[in-house]
Each structure stands twice: as structure tokens, then as C-alpha cells.
Structure 1
């Protein structure tokens, strides 16, 4: 967040944030596997790091992502869509898919609502956009995922401030920004 201390924001711009609704359970597995294969095939150093072929890695990843079972009230279910909550591979797969999706979203955004700042952490995104264009950007983001499963919600700064990732980002008088903790946590060691 230190990089935000140098960001200037004009009067005709606002800070906004977007969040993906239930990212893990809405990540489209087939599309995510395609993104992963593409990344692996373009990785020039893969053979230096593993003896597994791209096909081997893809078969293992497919198996992990499509054979997820869980128990609820004594019954066993198979997860049919999305990545499993709690699986160590889910954040990686969801992040790779989001990286692909954000590249598409920024590249195809109409000029009027194209963000001039885009900072993403997993499914939380902070943007700086032209005032009055937040809904247009949200509408655009909600069309980028061809599976129509990834949906975004948004929030606009209020009174010159916006919460983002446990921080409160505020607008200073000169247009500069600052971020401060939204929540202060004090941890005291118990006497033993």
C-alpha cells in the first residue's frame, strides 16, 4: 500500500473498489485449465524446474480440480463447479484465472471508464476512474468472463475515503492519497 502514497487523484476522478462474488466457487474449471495450460506452454524455464511435461501437469491439475468431495450432515457430495474452499490449489487457480480476466478487462474497457489505476489482491480490486463511470466499468467487468459466472460488485469512495484490504485510503487536500489502518489490533502477551 506504500505505493499509493505517491498517487495523485484529480477532482474528476474517484477511487472505487470491485469485489468478485464467491470467487473460488465460481471459478470456471475448464477455462482456468485452459489459462494454466497456456501459461505452462509459454514458460521457457519449466523444463529446468520439473521433469513433468505440460500434459502431465495438466492431467494432475484436472484430477485435483474435478474430483473434489465433501461431507455434509453425513452425506457425501461431489463439487460440480468451481474450486474447493480450503484446497491449497484453489487460491492459485483462482488467482491465475483472475490475472487472465483482468488483462482482458483492462484491454477491452471503453476509454470513458478505463481505470488509470488498478491494484488487485486475489478478488479485491482498487481502481481510480473518471467520476460518474463506476457503473459503466462494473457493467463492462461483468461481461468479460465468457462463462458468465464471475460477477463483480463495486463500492465508490465516500467523503474522500474508501476501505480496501483492511486499510482506509483517504484523499488529501492536494489530491495526494494516504492509507491508514482501518482497524488497529493490539496483541498483548499473557503472563505465564
Structure 2
């Protein structure tokens, strides 16, 4: 939040040729393609085989769970429920 950010940067010393910028990015997760995020996650798991060795799941199981969790996201607005069509759901731990 802004108050916390101000406390943190109060003691930051910048050189003359340096600049400080603060950006408030909204809806970032909704711009991440779900299929690409799943592919990258599975690739990372392949690169670290040890992580899969201790799990009771196969790579296929993990892919199916990711698809289920990330492609079936619903939210409520004005008393109605909507299914998110694109991007990763904001507030989801997996995002």
C-alpha cells in the first residue's frame, strides 16, 4: 500500500542520474494467458525433477489440476456470478 511504500523509500538515497518511479498496475493477472502459464509451470517442473519425485501426482495429474483451478474461475458482481474467460484469476493462490 502507499503508506508502507512511503515508509520504505524515506531512507533511499539516489544518485543525481537515478530516478525513482512508482507504478500502480491493475489487472496484471488477467493479461497472463492461462495455457502459457500452465506450460511454463510444467516446464519448470521438468527442469526440477526432484520436486515431482516426492509427490503422489504425475505430471499429467498436475496439468489437469492446474487447468481445473485456473480455467474455472468465477466471481460475483452485483449479485450475479460470472466465469472469467481469459487470464489468471486475481486473488487465486496459483496466480
TM-score for both structures, normalised by structure 2:
0.68
TM-superposed deviation, 1:42: 0.8
Aligned length: 88
Matches within 5 A, 1:2-151: 9-89=14-94, 93=95
TM-superposed deviation, 1:41: 1.0
- The verdict on how the C-alpha distance between 1:10 and 1:76 changes in structure 2, with shifts beyond 3 A counting, is closer
Consecutive unaligned residues in structure 2, runs of 5 or more? 1-8
SS class of match (1:70): strand
- The verdict on how the C-alpha distance between 1:61 and 1:20 changes in structure 2, with shifts beyond 3 A counting, is same
- The verdict on how the C-alpha distance between 1:71 and 1:18 changes in structure 2, with shifts beyond 3 A counting, is closer
Consecutive unaligned residues in structure 1, runs of 5 or more? 94-192
Greater fraction of residues in helix: 2
Counterpart Cα distance in 2 of 1:75 and 1:18: 32
Greater fraction of residues in strand: 1
TM-superposed deviation, 1:43: 1.3
Matched-pair contact (CA < 8 Å) for 2:34–2:88: yes
Q: Over residues 127-155 of structure 1, what are the superposed CA-to-partner deviations in whole Å (9 max), with x where a residue is unaligned?
A: xxxxxxxxxxxxxxxxxxxxxxxxxxxxx
TM-superposed deviation, 1:68: 1.7
Aligned CA-pair RMSD: 3.0
Structure of larger gyration radius:
1
TM-score for both structures, normalised by structure 1:
0.38
